A = this chain, B = another copy of it.
Amino acid sequence: MTTPLPTNYEYAQALDAADNLSRFRNEFVHADEDLIYVDGNSLGQLPFRTIERMQAVIAQEWGQALIRGWNMGWYEAPSRIGAKLAQLVGAAENQVIACDSTSVNLFKLIIAALKLRSDRPCIVSDTLNFPSDLYVLQGCVDLLGQRHQVHQVPSTDTISIDIDAMCAAIDETTALVTLSHVVFKSGFLHDMAAITKRAHEVGALVLWDLSHSVGAAPIELDRCGVDFAVGCSYKYLNGGPGAPAFLYVRRDLQDQITSPIWGWLGHQTPFTFDTDYEPAEGMSKFLSGTPPMLSLLAVEPALDLMLEAGMESIRHKSVGLSSYFIELFDAMLAPLNFTLGSPRAAAQRGSHVSIRHPEGYRINRALIDEMQVLPDFREPDNIRVGIAPLYNSYSDIWETAQRIRTVVEEERYVHYPEQRLSVT
């Protein structure tokens, strides 16, 4: 017997055999025996439980209970699902609620934060932030009369943001620091504790977008003293396409702010139909209109799975898988002109790994069309390998690296056009 090499398939199988989360793989629908799905950072896979639950929601709750469904769990769904999300983001109860899209929730909280710090003219973000977050921010600045300056701290290497540069950019003129916890292209994981601490030292507020970290990376909102957070539930949370998002407001701030979008579900007494708005206590005031119930209820079985697995185990496996992928990258892909587009240190990484290649776009197309590997691509040359600890295996990771190598070694990408407009 020889010691297994880390690049052997048998080694991947041995890692799978030792994986204490492996049973969760069978909780998900796998589209095709041979498909390697490494895009859970864009859209998570479908849990079998969700199929069952949605059959009941549609046929029994809507079909049979009809309007009475509101008295059978629909009305409480934003809070009930928020309470489950809270456990995944390190928040004590009554600080998280599920509703609307990430963009709409960002809008609510940016406006609220800027009103709370109306004497301060600056907003700090970074050049690696998710573009949609920057758009919402620009829209808020426009709406409030272009009175704010947005300072985007630049990255030095397109992968990460220097913590000292970030902290130096935050000062007494800063109203709000708003960042993606994990950077969508590189997977860089910000130091939430240090940045939040710096913001609070100078009296600024912080708003974290957890879309690319929740369900895969450790988040401790309460312990870090975070003011505001938002996140989406269709990536690592496996809540379904476009699943409703969530927002977090630290308890002692809840009385100090209102949502700019006043709607009946945010009213103190929604069913008295008063003509004047009176905001509800606590998180309910951040609701506005009626939530899209089918999409919202689809999130819940997926959260239950995640809570069963436990965030500590999930993070442990995420780091195991992504570190393994980087080992394989070094051995199999770096020699083929790939460069790593993600941090090497696990502590600075979320759960996806970007690899870069001058022919990245065409390689990604070949992977999807010919190799049964489904990652995604982000300009200009990033292939993002999204790693979902609940359903991806070490064998998946080995197959991904192996098939990428095949595409390049056999030049299977050369007949694809260079055009670059695609959803995936």
Contacts and interface: CB of A to CB of B under 8 A. Distances in A.
Interface of A: 29, 31-32, 37, 39, 42-43, 45-46, 50-51, 54-55, 58-59, 61-71, 74-75, 100-104, 107, 111, 127, 129, 131-132, 134-136, 138-139, 142-143, 152, 232, 234, 240-245, 258-264, 266-267, 271-277, 288-296, 298, 374, 376, 378-379, 421-424
- Of all A-B residue pairs in the complex, the 3 with the closest CB atoms, nearest first, are A101-B289, A103-B289, A139-B262
Contacts of A289: 100-104, 132, 245
Contacts of A46: 58-59, 62-63
Contacts of A294: 54, 240-243, 292, 294-295, 298
A155 to B, nearest CB: 12
A245 B292 CA distance: 9
B272 A379 contact: yes
Q: Within the oligomer, what is the number of copies of this chain?
A: 2
A68 B70 CA distance: 33
A136 B263 contact: yes
A395 B100 CA distance: 40
Contacts of A63: 29, 31, 45-46, 51
B58 A50 contact: yes
Contacts of A142: 260, 262
7 contacts: A32-B64, A51-B59, A67-B423, A103-B263, A131-B274, A134-B275, A138-B277
A60 B294 CA distance: 17
B58 A264 contact: no
Given A31-B63, A66-B45, A136 B75 contact: no
B276 A138 contact: yes
A262 B50 contact: no
A294 to B, nearest CB: 5
Given A67-B43, A422-B71, A275 B131 contact: yes
Contact of A293 (B29, B61, B295, B424): B295
Contacts of A31: 63-66
A142 to B, nearest CB: 8
B39 A66 contact: yes
